[in-house]
Copies of this chain bind each other. A is one copy, B any other.
Amino acid sequence: MKLEFELLKKEKHTNARLGQIKYNGQTYETPMFMPVGTQATVKTLSPEEIKSTKAGIILANTYHLWLRPGDEIIKKAGGLHKFMNYDGPILTDSGGYQVFSLAKPKDITEEGVKFKNQYNGDNLILTPEKSIQIQENLQSDIVMSFDECIGYPADKDYVLQSVLRTIRWAKRGKDVFKGKDQILFGIVQGGVYPDLRKKCAQELVKMNFDGYSIGGTSVGEDKKTQYQMVEDSVKYLPEDKMRYLMGVGDPIDLVENVIRGIDIFDCVSPTRLARHGHALTKYGKINLKNAKYKEDFTPISKECDCYACQNYTKAYIKHLINAEETLGARLLSIHNIRYLVKLMEEIRISIKNDNILEFKKKFIKDYYGENYEN
């Protein structure tokens, strides 16, 4: 069955929304943070551990899985859910961002993007049709249209041409999308230019996608610019469709962009921070490599209900990170994902209570102390 989204409530004083997703007999609430399982595994975690964080949708990367092990193998395995043993909802990206950030050299034409396979040097081309075909083979639940992700800063003339191409690519993808049990999102690009964001959003909405993503953020811009790009995109999107801000995971950015009307987020940050020994806490990010945790026999966070905080001390996790034992990154990944999932739970409560702005104020005070400027 297809994943279904329903808007439940709007917060009184902001654009924040409460929604629900129905999938496979389960109900998940939005706004939601989605952990990233780039190569058909959320780094260091088992499916049971992902679920223990109460995460719902997870992400997988079309570009990576196309190259390795290959979408045809995953199709033969019965799709991504069976291949990786995850029965929750899975979203796949279009490959556009990875082609933008990883594939070098690349050649962007009307047909698609030509580049060399980083593993074997083969010449490859990713097109709107190919991206859809790969995602159909992967059998994810939410499919993205192929887009061009633009860096920051970018020249307006180039962004205009790129946005027009992204619109044409979205149309081509939608035309070939058969999507048995899948839904398809369009991606709003347009860089920092409000009129181009508007153009892109409006053209995509005309095509009537099942949901809309906002792309081209988290590419080097400052926070204010990011929030503005989101505002300039969201206002042209229909209320009854899901809105997905791609690649954003800094806690304050989740709060700020929920306020601007975003429903779902993904980011590699909780697992990447974990591999570097960092833990997210109510009172900010801490680095367990710091010597002061050597004899700290308390959990990362007293308030946290995750497996790591219920069973291990900072001193032990610090030792595992120092000794390069993978259980260390695993415990921190569980904790960091749970932190973001829990943050979204608190955000949803504040939407229900119509006090997200008070929540934001309190959040900033706890997380940054007196040092936050925006």
> Which A residues are closer than 8 A to B by beta carbons?
39-41, 43-46, 64, 68-69, 73, 76-78, 83-85, 294-295, 297, 311-313, 315-316, 318-320, 322-323, 325-327, 329-330
Contacts and interface: CB of A to CB of B under 8 A. Distances in A.
Nearest to A45: B327
Nearest to A76: B295
6 nearest A-B pairs in the assembled complex, by CB-CB distance: A69-B319, A39-B323, A326-B326, A41-B327, A41-B325, A85-B311
A69 B295 CA distance: 10
A43 B77 contact: no
Contacts of A76: 295, 297
Given A40-B316, A68-B322, A77-B316, 20 more contacts: A39-B320, A41-B323, A41-B325, A43-B325, A46-B327, A64-B323, A68-B319, A69-B294, A69-B315, A69-B318, A69-B319, A73-B295, A76-B297, A77-B313, A77-B315, A83-B313, A83-B315, A85-B311, A326-B329, A326-B330
B325 A39 contact: yes
A186 to B, nearest CB: 30
Contact of A73 (B77, B294, B312, B329): B294
A345 to B, nearest CB: 25
B297 A85 contact: no
A325 B83 CA distance: 15
Nearest to A327: B41
Contacts of A320: 39, 41
Nearest to A331: B46
17 contacts: A39-B323, A40-B319, A43-B326, A46-B330, A64-B323, A68-B323, A69-B315, A69-B318, A69-B322, A69-B323, A73-B295, A76-B297, A77-B313, A77-B316, A83-B313, A85-B312, A85-B316
A267 B51 CA distance: 33
Contacts of A297: 76-78
Contacts of A68: 319, 322-323
Pick from A43, A76, A85, A316 the residue with the most CB of B within 10 Å: A316
A214 B39 CA distance: 45
Nearest to A44: B326
A315 B43 contact: no
Contacts of A322: 68-69
Nearest to A275: B326
Nearest to A325: B41
Contacts of A315: 69, 73, 77, 83
Pick from A295, A297, A315, A323 the residue with the most CB of B within 10 Å: A323
Contacts of A323: 39, 41, 64, 68-69
Contacts of A39: 319-320, 323, 325
A12 to B, nearest CB: 44
Nearest to A318: B69
Contacts of A329: 326
Contacts of A43: 325-326
